[in-house]
Amino acid sequence: MSTGTERLLGQLRRTLRDGGLGGSFWVRDLDTGEEIGIDPDIEFPVASLIKVPLALATLERIRRGELDGAATIEVAPGRTTAPGPTGLSRFRHTARIAVDDLLYLSTCISDSTAADALFALTPPARVAALLHEFGLRGIAVRHTMGELTETPLERFARAEAHLAYALAIDSGTPGRGHRLPQLDVSRANTGTARAFVDLLQALWRPRPGPAAIHPEVAARLRGLLADNLLRQRLAPDFASDASVWSSKTGTLLNLRHEVGVVEHADGRAYAVAALTESQVAAGSRPDAEALMGQVARRLRDHLRSGPL
């Protein structure tokens, strides 16, 4: 590692700390394999990022003929009133929706009720098994999305929401355990920045061999990630007229994540993973969203500029 790279990483660590943000960042050139980042192997609860492996497993089972993408599923309304959840999670009445459309809702607008309808078809253990079939390690799939709604945030009045964020920040253990099961890495759905970059690599640049993701499955999932509607985090630093940003976000209490791929008009492509935890007891942190994008962009720019 060059002196310039070491200096950059030191600056970015200080910038994150000064901004009340900790976490992992990993950026990889999908063609050369060169990569750079900060603490890529720290395990995090991944919140809605788990919807990417869920979509992969669902699409693979459709390809194998185990599921019918056109089959309709009766989905009970979420009737969620807390701020945040989208789509079916806020419906008041039962709906019948095709499996293919549940994939769109789950992946593109992060609809957790739609995701749980898909988990009912492909339980977490089966999703995990399919990841292993593709040779993908480092992502643990343990539970459905419904368990993420049972946090103190849903029990506090809005004026007291800061107490839930303070509990999330202050109740961890040195081994990354936590009083809240959704934030305990031994019980939550978890992953690392490196593991999600590996997953993105397998989708954008499938390696030959029996463990490769089928091209049709990879193309469909890339399309879903390109249609992601939640673009307040890394997208402002990567999307432009000369590039395409495809991604998935994940948010839970003080956790803010995003993983994606930026494809440039010159053909170069970079996988980016940012898994972060805020040290500020607040739910709305546009400064943290902006900081995530700035750090990820500086890492990508440094990688793009030449040898490390």
Question: Looking at residue 155, what is its pLDDT?
Answer: 56
Element containing residue 118 per DSSP (H, E): helix 112-121
Q: Give the tens place of pLDDT for each residue, 66-108.
A: 999 999 999 987 765 555 677 888 888 899 999 999 999 999 9
Question: Looking at residue 266, what is its pLDDT?
Answer: 93
Question: Looking at residue 168, what is its pLDDT?
Answer: 64
Pairing relation of β-strands 190-191 and 95-98?
Answer: unpaired
Q: At what angle do helices 286-305 and 3-18 cross, to 10 degrees?
A: 180
Distance CA 164, CA 162 (A): 5
Mean pLDDT of 100-126: 96
Question: Looking at residue 153, what is its pLDDT?
Answer: 56
Pairing relation of β-strands 21-29 and 269-278?
Answer: antiparallel
Q: Is pLDDT at 115 greater than 70 in this prediction?
A: yes
Percent of the chain at pLDDT exceeding 70: 88
pLDDT band at 4 (very low <50, low <70, confident <90, very high): confident
Question: Looking at residue 81, what is its pLDDT?
Answer: 53
Question: Looking at residue 147, what is its pLDDT?
Answer: 72
Contact criterion met (CB below 8 Å) for 116 and 56 = no
Task: Return the minimum-mean-pLDDT range out of 48-52, 139-143, 283-287.
Answer: 283-287
Distance CA 195, CA 41 (A): 8
Contact criterion met (CB below 8 Å) for 148 and 252 = yes
Question: Looking at residue 282, what is its pLDDT?
Answer: 72
Q: Give the tens place of pLDDT for each residue, 138-181.
A: 999 999 998 766 665 555 556 555 556 666 666 666 777 767 77
- Check residue 87 and report its DSSP letter: G
Q: Is pLDDT at 254 greater than 90 in this prediction?
A: no
Distance CA 46, CA 258 (A): 9
- List, as one string, the DSSP characters of 169-211: HHSB-TTS-BSSGGG-TTTS-EE-HHHHHHHHHHHHSPPSSTT
- 291 vs 156, which has greater pLDDT? 291
Q: Is pLDDT at 131 greater than 80 in this prediction?
A: yes
